[in-house]
Amino acid sequence: MGKRVMDLLVATAALALLAPLLLGLALWIKLDSPGPVLFRQQRVGRHGRLFWIHKFRTMRADAEGLPLTVGQDARITPAGQWLRRSKLDELPQLWDVLRGAMSLVGPRPEVPRYVAHYPEHLRAQALAVRPGLTDPVSLAHLHEAELLAAAADPERIYIEQILPAKLEAAVAYAQRASLGSDLRVIGQTIWRLWIRA
């Protein structure tokens, strides 16, 4: 209960305080390239339920291809480059936290395409908690796009090397998460993004 209460309080306060910034970013995206301001994509949530995740759009509206970002992806818009680097494209997920599809801290939600690669004996454990805006493994993989850019087959590297590490971390989080550990992750996330800004 404490975790959900924290999610509601922080998400509500953040959406209220950041409203001018959110509106400014929405206007910038609209002026920067044609297409909707928000990007929606189906992800796998708690207990395997599908939900729509929301982000500020950072790619061209007609972008196609893998659901992975590889290096200096040509699909990314000029505004999207900065939004991704600053992680501000993730802010609309505060709404997903408010409506209960996500939590502030939890394993980052995957698309069904990659959840299909989860071993059966780990899937239920990894999906036992709400996915989050941030988690320890996300902090460790801030440069994932650059790593994939160096691979001859980025999706294969993602599935065979990066995804297992994320899955292991998701299971560990589900087994040991606490309000205290969540607060530490939130603090570390703010610090890492601050020094990257």
Residue ranges of domains in the chain: 2-196
pLDDT in tens, 31-90: 999 999 999 999 999 999 999 999 999 999 888 887 888 777 889 999 999 999 888 999
Signed CA dihedral, 86, 89, 92, 96: sign only? negative
- 11 burial via Cβ count (<10 Å: 0-12, 13-18, 19+): buried
pTM, entire model: 0.89
pLDDT digits (tens, 9 = 90+) for 121-166: 899 999 999 999 998 877 766 567 777 887 888 899 899 988 998 8
End-to-end Cα, the chain, rounded Å: 34
Extract the tokens encoding 52.
């729509």
